[in-house]
Amino acid sequence: MRIEIISNLPHHNKRLVIYSMRGIFKTSLLTPIILLLINQHGLAQQFIGLNTTKYAGIQHMATNPAWVNTCDKGTEVMLFSANVLAGTNAYSVRKKFVFEGFNGQGLPGVDYFPDEQRYQKHLWANLEINGPAFSTTYKDVHHVGMFTRVRQLYRAGNITSSEFLLIGNKVPEIYNGQNVDFKKAGFTTHTFAEVGFTYGQTIRDDNYHIARVGVSLKYLMGFVAGSIYTESLQYQQKSADSIGYIKGDLTILYTHNMNSFIDANVQNDITGWFQRAGRWGLGLDIGGQYEYHPDGNPNKETPYLFSIAASITDIGSIGYVADTGSGTYELNIANIDTAQFLKRYEDIDQYLIRLQQDTAINAHNGDIAQKFRVGLPTAFRLNIDYNATDKLNFAVNILLNMRGSRKLYKPAYVSYFNFTPSYGGKNFKVGLPFSVIGYQTFAIGTVLQVGPFYMGSTSVLSMLMSSRLRNIDGYVGFAYKFIDKKKQFGYYK
């Protein structure tokens, strides 16, 4: 058994997720994870609801390389862009608790509330910082661009509702002695950077039908990666302070700099980023875009009636050297005090060695890992937009995760469906995105674009209308187009 990825949890809780076999999820852990992500101030990969039809398209070049072709009317430059997306269908968080700066650790039933609806529980988050980037045209045919970005992904879950309700710091006595089974559950994280080189061409342009294609080749640099995953694990709590038994398998893979993120010194979380643990790799994006112009006049601007763009992004993987203790383990633990099983402030490898010496865990057929690979968050993206008038646009945006769970928990983006009506022109536009993000979570947000500056969120209106939060996200960026007066005819101006 193998997996692809471990976690960067807050320093006061990360150790619990990695060390405690009581469950891949703990109710006391999910909220601090989300709150950490919100408080990072790094802003995401998915500019959900941002209009793709006017001004510059370079801000979308990293998610569909066909958008490099919008530089055919002038060189485009993106100084920066950033975004964050975090959410869960396992909890809702009190808005006042968030806006007060997460005062304290957070109390269940007071600051955060478990969702008791019967469906799989998941957590997702991605942080991204982009830029600088540029795109330009060579000999009126070849459209080329380059972009840079750093990404951090979090995924956790595959916990059923019944399992979720039985796990936590304080399980009611009525649940003592009950069995909890986990199947293909885990927590993953991956942090990496990339430099992308994009090439595109317009393969058809008869003034009515315009088709563009593009491809990006990316040089990848891995920083931190880790995973905890179980194919099958059974847990039973004996009492509030003791464990009845834990049986099953557990695969743990992590890089040497993970220990910086689980000790008691928060400063080590920062220094850990400068200890690159990954190797290099190559990634690939491919995409295409089509638009229909009913007027088809080559002598003046003719806005298209509708556009369709599709891409497959993040094909590839990055290799890592596994730290001591990485591997697959068999668990056969019975009648042990929680305090004895879980000690604080040990390195991961020290902890695993101690459990092996206590015969609590055993390496599965000598299956100790020396290296592992982490797949990129491969996704299929579809964007369709329709110009009802010169200023009114309706767009549908879809992202589908293409990473499976073949003996690992997906190192992937969360899937979503988005519908965004927007109104305005090149210099000013406002949008109202309606999104279904991941697993049964709905959000309403806003998007504002003023010339080269844009900002947006899929959830800001939901936040204002509700006292509790399930999703939180935002993005901001600056992209400018240096218009070539000789090429300004056409929809992109």
Taking only the tens of pLDDT, the chain with its 493 residues reads 222 222 232 333 333 333 332 233 333 333 333 333 333 333 334 678 887 656 688 889 999 999 999 888 889 999 989 988 888 888 888 877 777 766 666 777 788 787 777 778 888 888 898 889 999 999 889 999 999 999 988 888 888 766 666 655 455 565 677 778 888 888 888 889 999 999 999 999 998 999 999 999 999 999 888 888 888 888 887 776 777 888 888 888 888 887 665 555 555 555 655 677 888 999 999 999 999 999 888 777 778 999 999 999 999 999 998 887 788 888 887 887 766 666 655 667 667 777 766 666 666 555 567 888 899 999 999 999 999 998 999 999 999 999 866 666 788 888 899 999 999 987 899 999 999 988 678 889 999 999 899 999 988 888 788 888 888 888 999 999 888 766 654 443 3
Residues 57 and 384: their CA atoms lie apart, in Å, by 15
Global pTM reads: 0.82
On whether residue 189 sits in a domain, the answer given is yes
Give the structural domain span for 246. 14-487
H-only helix segments in 423-484: 460-465
* Omega cis (within 30) before 132: yes
Q: What distance in Å separates the CA atoms of residue 345 and residue 263, rounded to the nearest whole number?
A: 6
Angle 418-423-428 from CA coordinates, rounded to 5°? 115
| Residue 4 within a domain | no
Tokens of 92: 């809702």
Alpha-carbon dihedral angle through residues 261, 369, 337, 7, given to the nearest 10 degrees: 30
Q: Can you tell me which residue has the tokens 């840079």?
A: 148
- The answer to whether residue 359 sits within a structural domain is yes
Query: Locate tokens 């007071």: which residue?
Result: 110
Give phi and psi for 24, each to the nearest 5.
Answer: -65, -30
Residue 7 lies in a domain: no
How many helices (H) and strands (E) the chain has is answered by 8, 24
> Does the residue 72 lie in any domain?
yes
CA–CA distance, 257 with 55 (Å, rounded to integer): 42
Residue 230 lies in a domain: yes
Distances (CA, A) of 19 to 6, 24, 56, 353: 11, 10, 48, 12
9 lies in a domain?
Answer: no
Alpha-carbon gap, residue 91 to 88, rounded angstroms: 6
As for how many domains the chain has, the answer is 1
Residue 37: inside a domain: yes
Long-range contacts of 346-349 (CB under 8 A, 24+ apart): 346/15, 346/19, 347/259, 347/263, 348/18, 348/19, 348/252, 348/254, 348/258, 348/259, 348/262, 348/323, 349/323, 349/324, 349/325
> E strands, 276-412, where?
280-292, 306-321, 327-337, 361-368, 371-375, 379-387, 392-401
Alpha-carbon distances, residue 168 vs 60, 81, 163, 251 (angstroms) = 41, 38, 10, 22
